[in-house]
Structure 1
Amino acid sequence: MGFPIPDPYVWDESFKVFYQLLDDKHKQIFQGVFDCAKDPSSAAKLQKLIEVTAKHFSDEENMMQQSKYSGYPPHKKAHEEFLGKLRGLRAPLDTAGLDYCKDWLVQHIKTIDFKYKGKL
Protein backbone atom coordinates (compact mmCIF):
# COMPACT_ATOMS: atom_id res chain seq x y z
CA MET A 1 0.00 0.00 0.00
CA GLY A 2 2.59 2.56 0.96
CA PHE A 3 2.88 5.21 3.60
CA PRO A 4 -0.25 6.37 5.43
CA ILE A 5 -1.95 9.59 4.37
CA PRO A 6 -2.00 12.08 7.25
CA ASP A 7 -5.38 13.19 8.53
CA PRO A 8 -5.66 16.11 8.72
CA TYR A 9 -3.64 16.47 5.53
CA VAL A 10 -0.72 18.56 6.74
CA TRP A 11 3.06 18.35 6.43
CA ASP A 12 4.86 17.09 9.51
CA GLU A 13 8.46 16.36 10.48
CA SER A 14 8.25 12.84 9.04
CA PHE A 15 8.37 14.45 5.56
CA LYS A 16 11.55 16.42 6.22
CA VAL A 17 14.21 16.17 3.50
CA PHE A 18 16.59 18.52 5.36
CA TYR A 19 16.84 21.17 2.65
CA GLN A 20 14.95 24.21 3.94
CA LEU A 21 13.85 25.42 0.50
CA LEU A 22 12.45 22.02 -0.42
CA ASP A 23 10.82 21.41 2.96
CA ASP A 24 9.15 24.82 2.71
CA LYS A 25 7.90 24.03 -0.79
CA HIS A 26 6.60 20.64 0.34
CA LYS A 27 4.67 22.44 3.08
CA GLN A 28 3.16 24.75 0.45
CA ILE A 29 2.09 21.81 -1.71
CA PHE A 30 0.51 20.08 1.28
CA GLN A 31 -1.32 23.32 2.04
CA GLY A 32 -2.44 23.60 -1.58
CA VAL A 33 -3.88 20.08 -1.56
CA PHE A 34 -5.52 20.78 1.80
CA ASP A 35 -7.05 24.00 0.43
CA CYS A 36 -8.38 22.17 -2.63
CA ALA A 37 -9.90 19.50 -0.40
CA LYS A 38 -11.61 22.17 1.70
CA ASP A 39 -13.00 23.92 -1.39
CA PRO A 40 -12.99 21.45 -4.30
CA SER A 41 -15.06 23.78 -6.48
CA SER A 42 -12.38 26.50 -6.47
CA ALA A 43 -10.55 26.69 -9.78
CA ALA A 44 -8.32 29.39 -8.26
CA LYS A 45 -7.12 27.05 -5.50
CA LEU A 46 -6.43 24.31 -8.01
CA GLN A 47 -4.48 26.74 -10.19
CA LYS A 48 -2.44 27.88 -7.19
CA LEU A 49 -1.66 24.24 -6.35
CA ILE A 50 -0.48 23.67 -9.92
CA GLU A 51 1.72 26.79 -9.83
CA VAL A 52 3.27 25.98 -6.44
CA THR A 53 3.92 22.39 -7.51
CA ALA A 54 5.50 23.40 -10.83
CA LYS A 55 7.76 25.93 -9.09
CA HIS A 56 8.80 23.37 -6.49
CA PHE A 57 9.59 20.76 -9.13
CA SER A 58 11.70 23.30 -11.01
CA ASP A 59 13.63 24.28 -7.86
CA GLU A 60 14.17 20.67 -6.84
CA GLU A 61 15.30 19.64 -10.32
CA ASN A 62 17.73 22.57 -10.49
CA MET A 63 19.28 21.46 -7.21
CA MET A 64 19.58 17.92 -8.57
CA GLN A 65 21.26 19.11 -11.75
CA GLN A 66 23.67 21.38 -9.89
CA SER A 67 24.74 18.52 -7.65
CA LYS A 68 24.81 16.03 -10.54
CA TYR A 69 22.38 13.82 -8.63
CA SER A 70 22.32 10.41 -10.33
CA GLY A 71 18.61 9.89 -9.67
CA TYR A 72 17.64 13.00 -11.61
CA PRO A 73 16.23 11.43 -14.83
CA PRO A 74 13.60 9.15 -13.23
CA HIS A 75 12.81 11.81 -10.64
CA LYS A 76 12.14 14.40 -13.34
CA LYS A 77 9.96 11.88 -15.18
CA ALA A 78 7.87 11.31 -12.03
CA HIS A 79 7.44 15.08 -11.71
CA GLU A 80 6.37 15.42 -15.33
CA GLU A 81 3.81 12.64 -15.02
CA PHE A 82 2.28 14.06 -11.85
CA LEU A 83 2.21 17.61 -13.17
CA GLY A 84 0.53 16.36 -16.33
CA LYS A 85 -2.19 14.67 -14.29
CA LEU A 86 -2.53 17.67 -12.01
CA ARG A 87 -2.94 20.00 -14.99
CA GLY A 88 -5.61 17.66 -16.34
CA LEU A 89 -7.79 18.06 -13.25
CA ARG A 90 -10.72 20.46 -13.30
CA ALA A 91 -12.75 22.08 -10.58
CA PRO A 92 -14.84 20.86 -8.98
CA LEU A 93 -12.35 18.24 -7.91
CA ASP A 94 -13.79 14.85 -7.16
CA THR A 95 -12.71 12.62 -4.30
CA ALA A 96 -10.67 10.39 -6.61
CA GLY A 97 -8.62 13.34 -7.88
CA LEU A 98 -7.99 14.65 -4.39
CA ASP A 99 -7.09 11.22 -3.06
CA TYR A 100 -4.67 10.74 -5.94
CA CYS A 101 -2.92 14.04 -5.16
CA LYS A 102 -2.72 13.30 -1.45
CA ASP A 103 -1.36 9.82 -1.96
CA TRP A 104 1.07 10.76 -4.72
CA LEU A 105 2.69 13.51 -2.67
CA VAL A 106 3.11 11.36 0.43
CA GLN A 107 4.51 8.39 -1.48
CA HIS A 108 6.74 10.58 -3.66
CA ILE A 109 8.36 12.41 -0.77
CA LYS A 110 8.88 9.35 1.40
CA THR A 111 10.15 7.04 -1.33
CA ILE A 112 11.66 9.15 -4.11
CA ASP A 113 12.61 12.45 -2.48
CA PHE A 114 14.12 10.72 0.53
CA LYS A 115 16.69 9.15 -1.80
CA TYR A 116 18.34 12.55 -2.32
CA LYS A 117 18.79 13.33 1.38
CA GLY A 118 22.38 14.41 1.90
CA LYS A 119 23.15 14.30 -1.83
CA LEU A 120 22.11 17.73 -3.03
Structure 2
Amino acid sequence: MINWKDSYDIGVEKIDCQHRQLLVKLNEFFEACTNQQGKEKIEETLKFLKEYTLEHFSDEEHLMQDIDFPELAEHRKTHAEFVKTVLDLEESIKSKGVSVLSTIKLNRTLTDWLLNHINKCDKLIGQCIASKGNQAV
Protein backbone atom coordinates (compact mmCIF):
# COMPACT_ATOMS: atom_id res chain seq x y z
CA MET A 1 0.00 0.00 0.00
CA ILE A 2 1.37 3.40 -0.98
CA ASN A 3 0.03 6.52 0.67
CA TRP A 4 -0.28 9.76 -1.26
CA LYS A 5 2.23 12.35 -0.19
CA ASP A 6 1.75 16.05 -0.77
CA SER A 7 5.19 16.02 -2.33
CA TYR A 8 3.70 14.07 -5.28
CA ASP A 9 1.49 17.07 -6.18
CA ILE A 10 2.69 19.10 -9.15
CA GLY A 11 0.41 22.03 -8.39
CA VAL A 12 -2.19 21.51 -11.13
CA GLU A 13 -5.39 20.22 -9.54
CA LYS A 14 -6.67 18.30 -12.58
CA ILE A 15 -3.38 16.44 -13.02
CA ASP A 16 -2.93 15.89 -9.27
CA CYS A 17 -6.47 14.44 -9.05
CA GLN A 18 -5.71 12.06 -11.92
CA HIS A 19 -2.48 10.98 -10.21
CA ARG A 20 -4.36 10.34 -6.95
CA GLN A 21 -6.93 8.31 -8.91
CA LEU A 22 -4.10 6.17 -10.29
CA LEU A 23 -2.78 5.61 -6.77
CA VAL A 24 -6.22 4.45 -5.60
CA LYS A 25 -6.33 1.87 -8.41
CA LEU A 26 -2.75 0.83 -7.70
CA ASN A 27 -3.59 0.26 -4.03
CA GLU A 28 -6.72 -1.70 -4.96
CA PHE A 29 -4.55 -3.93 -7.13
CA PHE A 30 -1.93 -4.29 -4.35
CA GLU A 31 -4.66 -5.27 -1.91
CA ALA A 32 -6.08 -7.83 -4.33
CA CYS A 33 -2.59 -9.33 -4.76
CA THR A 34 -2.11 -9.44 -0.98
CA ASN A 35 -5.41 -11.31 -0.69
CA GLN A 36 -4.41 -13.77 -3.43
CA GLN A 37 -6.87 -12.14 -5.85
CA GLY A 38 -4.41 -10.40 -8.17
CA LYS A 39 -5.33 -12.67 -11.08
CA GLU A 40 -8.97 -11.65 -10.78
CA LYS A 41 -8.14 -7.94 -10.54
CA ILE A 42 -5.49 -7.68 -13.27
CA GLU A 43 -7.83 -7.40 -16.25
CA GLU A 44 -9.92 -4.72 -14.54
CA THR A 45 -6.73 -2.82 -13.67
CA LEU A 46 -5.43 -3.03 -17.24
CA LYS A 47 -8.78 -1.81 -18.59
CA PHE A 48 -8.61 1.15 -16.21
CA LEU A 49 -5.02 1.90 -17.27
CA LYS A 50 -5.90 1.95 -20.97
CA GLU A 51 -8.70 4.45 -20.36
CA TYR A 52 -6.68 6.43 -17.83
CA THR A 53 -3.63 6.83 -20.05
CA LEU A 54 -5.70 8.11 -22.97
CA GLU A 55 -7.23 10.91 -20.92
CA HIS A 56 -4.41 11.65 -18.52
CA PHE A 57 -1.55 11.65 -21.00
CA SER A 58 -3.54 13.85 -23.36
CA ASP A 59 -4.31 16.32 -20.55
CA GLU A 60 -0.72 16.32 -19.36
CA GLU A 61 0.75 16.75 -22.84
CA HIS A 62 -1.62 19.64 -23.62
CA LEU A 63 -0.55 21.29 -20.38
CA MET A 64 3.11 20.81 -21.28
CA GLN A 65 2.48 22.40 -24.69
CA ASP A 66 0.69 25.33 -23.05
CA ILE A 67 3.64 26.04 -20.74
CA ASP A 68 6.32 25.44 -23.40
CA PHE A 69 7.72 22.58 -21.33
CA PRO A 70 11.28 22.05 -22.57
CA GLU A 71 11.22 18.26 -22.17
CA LEU A 72 7.87 17.64 -23.87
CA ALA A 73 9.26 15.32 -26.57
CA GLU A 74 11.05 13.12 -24.02
CA HIS A 75 7.98 13.09 -21.78
CA ARG A 76 5.77 12.02 -24.71
CA LYS A 77 8.21 9.22 -25.45
CA THR A 78 7.99 8.02 -21.85
CA HIS A 79 4.20 8.09 -22.02
CA ALA A 80 4.25 6.05 -25.24
CA GLU A 81 6.58 3.49 -23.64
CA PHE A 82 4.22 3.12 -20.67
CA VAL A 83 1.24 2.60 -23.00
CA LYS A 84 3.23 -0.02 -24.92
CA THR A 85 4.08 -1.82 -21.67
CA VAL A 86 0.41 -1.90 -20.67
CA LEU A 87 -0.69 -3.12 -24.14
CA ASP A 88 2.07 -5.76 -24.24
CA LEU A 89 1.02 -7.03 -20.83
CA GLU A 90 -2.61 -7.13 -21.92
CA GLU A 91 -1.67 -9.04 -25.08
CA SER A 92 0.40 -11.51 -23.07
CA ILE A 93 -2.55 -12.14 -20.77
CA LYS A 94 -4.88 -12.65 -23.74
CA SER A 95 -2.56 -15.18 -25.35
CA LYS A 96 -1.12 -16.94 -22.28
CA GLY A 97 -3.63 -16.19 -19.55
CA VAL A 98 -3.10 -14.48 -16.22
CA SER A 99 -0.12 -15.71 -14.24
CA VAL A 100 1.71 -14.82 -11.07
CA LEU A 101 4.41 -13.36 -13.30
CA SER A 102 1.95 -11.05 -15.07
CA THR A 103 0.57 -9.79 -11.76
CA ILE A 104 4.10 -9.15 -10.48
CA LYS A 105 5.00 -7.33 -13.70
CA LEU A 106 1.94 -5.07 -13.45
CA ASN A 107 2.69 -4.44 -9.79
CA ARG A 108 6.26 -3.40 -10.59
CA THR A 109 5.23 -1.32 -13.59
CA LEU A 110 2.68 0.67 -11.59
CA THR A 111 4.97 1.13 -8.59
CA ASP A 112 7.82 2.29 -10.80
CA TRP A 113 5.51 4.67 -12.66
CA LEU A 114 4.26 6.23 -9.46
CA LEU A 115 7.59 6.51 -7.71
CA ASN A 116 9.75 7.44 -10.67
CA HIS A 117 7.65 9.06 -13.35
CA ILE A 118 5.10 10.99 -11.32
CA ASN A 119 7.37 11.82 -8.42
CA LYS A 120 10.34 12.81 -10.56
CA CYS A 121 9.40 13.59 -14.19
CA ASP A 122 5.97 15.11 -13.57
CA LYS A 123 7.36 17.21 -10.72
CA LEU A 124 9.36 19.05 -13.39
CA ILE A 125 6.10 20.22 -14.95
CA GLY A 126 5.09 21.80 -11.66
CA GLN A 127 8.51 23.40 -11.31
CA CYS A 128 8.24 24.82 -14.83
CA ILE A 129 4.83 26.29 -14.03
CA ALA A 130 6.12 27.76 -10.76
CA SER A 131 9.10 29.31 -12.53
CA LYS A 132 6.69 31.09 -14.86
CA GLY A 133 4.68 32.41 -11.94
CA ASN A 134 1.73 30.02 -12.47
CA GLN A 135 0.64 32.14 -15.45
CA ALA A 136 0.41 29.18 -17.79
CA VAL A 137 -2.44 27.37 -16.03
TM-score (norm 2): 0.72
Q: Structure 2: 5+ residue runs without aligned partners?
A: 33-37, 130-137
Task: Rate the CA distance shift 1:18–1:82 in 2: closer, same or farther, 3 A.
Answer: same
Q: Does 1:83 align with 2:76?
A: no
Match of 1:3 in 2: none
Deviation per CA, 1:40-80: give whole Å up to 9, x if none: 22212320132113311110001111222111000010011
Which position in structure 2 is the counterpart of 1:4? none
Larger Rg over CA atoms: 2
The residue that corresponds to 1:13 in the other structure is 6
User: Residue 2 of structure 2 aligns to a residue in which SS?
Assistant: coil
1:115 aligns with 2:124: yes
Q: What's the C-alpha RMSD, in Å, of the aligned pairs?
A: 1.8
SS of residue paired to 1:64: helix
Q: Structure 1 CA distance, aligned partners of 2:113 and 2:45?
A: 18
The alignment status of 1:104 with 2:113, answered yes or no, reads yes
Q: How many residues align?
A: 113
- Offset of residue 111 of structure 1: 1.7
Q: Quote the sequence identity (%).
A: 26
Equivalent-residue separation in structure 2 for 1:105 and 1:80 (angstroms): 16
How far apart in 2 are the matches of 1:111 and 1:84? 21
| Map of 1:22 onto structure 2 | 15
Please, which runs of 5 or more residues in structure 1 have no aligned partner?
Answer: 1-7
More helix, by proportion = 2
